[in-house]
Chain A
Amino acid sequence: MTASVTGQARAASERQRSIFKVPLSVALSVLVALFFVAAAITPAALSTHSPFDTDLLSSLTPPASDHLLGTDDIGRDLYSRIIWGTRQSLLIGLGAMAVALTSATVLGFAAALAPRWIAEPIDRILEILLAFPTLLLALLFVALLGPSATSLLFSVGIGTAPGYARLIRAQTLKVKSSGYVEAAWALGHPGHTIFRQHIAPNAFRPLVALFALGIGQSVVWASGLSFLGLGVAPPSPEWGALLEAGKANITVAWWLEIFPGVAIVFVALSFTQIGRYIQDRLEGTLHQ
């Protein structure tokens, strides 16, 4: 994820458009994201079948009008399963980012602002954790908590937190040494005011974009864990679990493997695109 969060400059032309003129790609991303958010909130309204009802007579039917995206090996409607799986997948994405950013914020601020005797050890620990492969951290957490949506959420969150913490640390250091923080000191503001008014909000600013970027990546990570069999309990249609289940039938039912993957890619893409756009707007209006 480092790349996506360090890469900032977008085409300058995008910046110059007014607030109401949004690039087409972003508009589409917002639509896709809204669709999935709606699916997460009221899956029943968007689905055509129950996601759990099995129908052994219509197993592995290809996409058609009665089953938009086909059915799985026990006749469950894939489209409805993807819709119902959205809630869990998105919750994992959101939750993981919430966990990651919360812990990363505490650690990042501490590493950047705390007195040396606190900051130094935190910095070292972050360094150690950074050397841990993300997946391994996640694996350990699943092993600790057992496979479930909650542990997926925590394991992805904790697994990606060290990277974010380093970013927040860097951002905080940057803000800390910025002209406006110095100006605030020079004005005679006390430290806590400066932290509250300047350091915290400005160090957080890129996190808005990071959050959106990270949701997509978290969904991908979580589905990777599901794929390794460390996912949520069946019959949950969490997307990674759908992919894992679809693998066995891929030679005769391509749709089972393609569509859930496409859903993951769509979510990752749309949230990334939105995150980028937010980032550009923030960077664009704030640091031209």
Chain B
Amino acid sequence: MNAFAQAQVMSHDGMGASRLILEVRDLNVWFGQDGDSRRHVVKGVDLELYAGQCIALVGESGSGKSVTARSLIGLAGAGSRVEAANLTFEGETLLGRSDRWWRHVRGSKIGLILQDALVSLDPLRPVGKEIDEALWLHRWGDRASRREKILKILGQVGVPEPALRAKQRSGELSGGLRQRALIAAAIALHPNVVIADEPTTALDVTVQAQVLGVLKQMLARGTSIILISHDLAVVSKLADIIYVMRGGSIVEAGPRDRVLNRPRHRYTQQLIDAVPSEHTKGTRLSADGGVLRPGLFSQSRGRSSNNRVPLLDARNIVKTFRSPDGIRRTVVKGVSFTLARGETLGIVGESGSGKSTLARVALSLETPDSGEVRFEGRIWTGAVPAEQRQIRKRISVVYQDPLSSFDPRWRVSRILTDAITLANPSRAQDARQYAAALLEAVGLEPVHLDRWPLQMSGGQRQRVAIARAIATEPEIIILDEAVSALDVSVQAQILDLLTDLQAQLGISYLFISHDLGVIHHMSDRVLVMKDGKAVEQGTADQVFYHPKHAYTQSLLASLPRLEYAQLRMAASAR
């Protein structure tokens, strides 16, 4: 594996071999006591970081990438044991250092940026204080000079009105500003190395682009960055060298372009293939998928109705909430859409755009203030409860967090049989067999029937949620950020599963996501929402390739695309 080293040095932007800042050889990290409960989470990792370089650790959850990075600042975590053949930072070993020594290094020489500044900055304190703390801890300057410095750093990371923002808490700042403040706190003392652990995850694309910009500037100023991410697209924007991790080991390492374009390891290839985008439309993202047994659904039901009437027809939906302080906020402002049989309508928008509320209205879980939703031409919103329930059985929903949508007291079998018997009481007798069949359809095994959802992985849970959704033989499934919390390879499997189900059962999807790639991959038509309004609607290709609205354009411009994919497309076009 050490063969990578040469390639890395050579690849370095042609700037010539700069100084080696950090060298890691055979890093191993264990958690827990000796014995059964001990877990080996980082296995023989080698890393090198040169001045001004950005290296990226890429992998899915549980790959050990975060633990690796945190070991480098002596914060692998409680109950951890860190060993390495060599762990050298700027010529000094990091092994066997006292806490006092570490405290001196942290913040001043190595900085750490975490995901989600809302909780990574103390939510009870103004961000200025957090930055001040970094300075104060290292005895930097006096009160007045620190204050000046704080404003300067905030300015540096692109925070407008720094004096005002410094007095606000992370919760009072927008996602982009607070993430920048978090960066400011980490780089206040200009550390040579900054470890950025998923720095843009969970951010809206436009904000993500801004934060990546800040990191780029840091690189330009000569700071070295260790970027940790599950998102190849983000990595492709920033990294010089990519290390792909899986199960605690590095499976592949090399210069960015080489790794992305000519991955040598099968896993790297899988990761790349799994990223949905406009280019993957109509292709399978994952290697495996569910097997649908023919005859799982009774095909008789309701299919004969008039195809000219949209299955779901929402007209001029307006929804307002009153908050406890009496302020009324209009969350959905006159949105209309239709959903035809067998079609996928993607609803895309950033957080707070009203897309989830719209979904709840479509499901008649919220009553709109004005406007109406028709199901097969019948007005649904405001129907009597019994009638509403009949229609609800024909519409299913899958949420972002499947776990919270399962009663914690129920095993998988109960979750599924509950839905099965509700839709079709005559199945009460063989509900369990049917549940097993459903599990197989979504790529799980009958043994999972007796599991608690809590004991399952995120992907398995989402499969159970989908199994429940199809258990009622619905005509529509509303997928509300259904794949957003999943690792990319799991996401790929689920998306493939959804595609298969649609192909075989003719289900319509109302697909809600903030992820433009996923939306483009899945949708026939797309609705773009901003601030409760539908700013653009059209076929997926229209919207993505020829956006009319400025907002859509800015969204697409901010979207980090996987560079390699463009290369591949270009190659195939030639």
Residues of A whose CB lies within 8 Å of any CB of B are 178-180, 182-191, 197-198, 201-202, 205, 285-288
Contact = CB atoms under 8 A, between A and B. Distances in A.
Contacts of A198: 407
B91 interface: no
A202 B422 contact: no
Interface residues of B, number: 30
A197 B452 CA distance: 17
A182 B406 CA distance: 10
Interface stretch (B18-26, B193-201, B246-254, B387-395): B387-395
B408 interface: yes
Given A202-B407, A285-B452, A189 B389 contact: yes
B503 interface: no
B365 interface: yes
B397 A186 contact: yes
B401 A188 contact: no
B408 A182 contact: no
Q: Top 3 closest A-B pairs, CB basis?
A: A179-B404, A188-B392, A286-B408
B380 interface: no
A186 B363 contact: yes
Contact of B405 (A183, A191, A205, A286): A183
A202 B390 contact: no
Interface of B: 363, 365, 385-386, 388-393, 395-397, 399, 401, 403-409, 418-419, 422-423, 452, 454, 468, 472
A286 B419 CA distance: 21
27 contacts: A178-B404, A179-B401, A180-B404, A180-B405, A180-B407, A180-B408, A183-B406, A185-B392, A186-B363, A186-B395, A186-B396, A187-B392, A187-B393, A187-B468, A187-B472, A188-B390, A188-B391, A188-B392, A189-B422, A190-B385, A190-B389, A201-B409, A285-B408, A285-B454, A286-B409, A287-B408, A288-B454
Given A182-B365, A202-B408, A205-B409, A188 B454 contact: no
A197 B422 CA distance: 13
B484 to A, nearest CB: 15
Given A183-B468, A286-B409, 7 more contacts: A180-B407, A187-B392, A187-B468, A201-B407, A202-B407, A285-B452, A286-B408
Contacts of A286: 408-409, 454
Nearest to A185: B365
Contacts of B399: 179, 183
A58 B396 CA distance: 78
Contacts of A189: 389, 422
Given A179-B404, A197-B407, A197-B418, A188 B393 contact: yes
A132 B113 CA distance: 50
B469 to A, nearest CB: 9
Contacts of A187: 392-393, 396, 418-419, 422, 468, 472
B405 A182 contact: yes
A125 to B, nearest CB: 21
Contacts of B409: 201-202, 205, 286
B385 A179 contact: no
A39 B51 CA distance: 74
B477 to A, nearest CB: 11
A184 B406 CA distance: 9
A56 to B, nearest CB: 59
Given A188-B393, A190-B389, A179 B405 contact: yes
B428 to A, nearest CB: 15
B407 A188 contact: no
Most B CB within 10 A of own CB, among A180, A198, A287? A180
B279 to A, nearest CB: 34
A174 B396 CA distance: 23
B389 A188 contact: yes
A180 B406 contact: yes
Contacts of B406: 179-180, 183
A186 B472 CA distance: 11
Contacts of B363: 186
A183 B397 contact: yes
A173 B81 CA distance: 44
Contacts of B452: 285
A201 B414 CA distance: 15
Nearest to B402: A179
B356 to A, nearest CB: 11
B406 to A, nearest CB: 6
A186 B359 CA distance: 11
A202 B409 CA distance: 8
Contacts of A287: 408
A189 B425 CA distance: 13
A180 to B, nearest CB: 4
A103 to B, nearest CB: 25
A178 B385 CA distance: 20
B498 to A, nearest CB: 18
Nearest to A180: B407
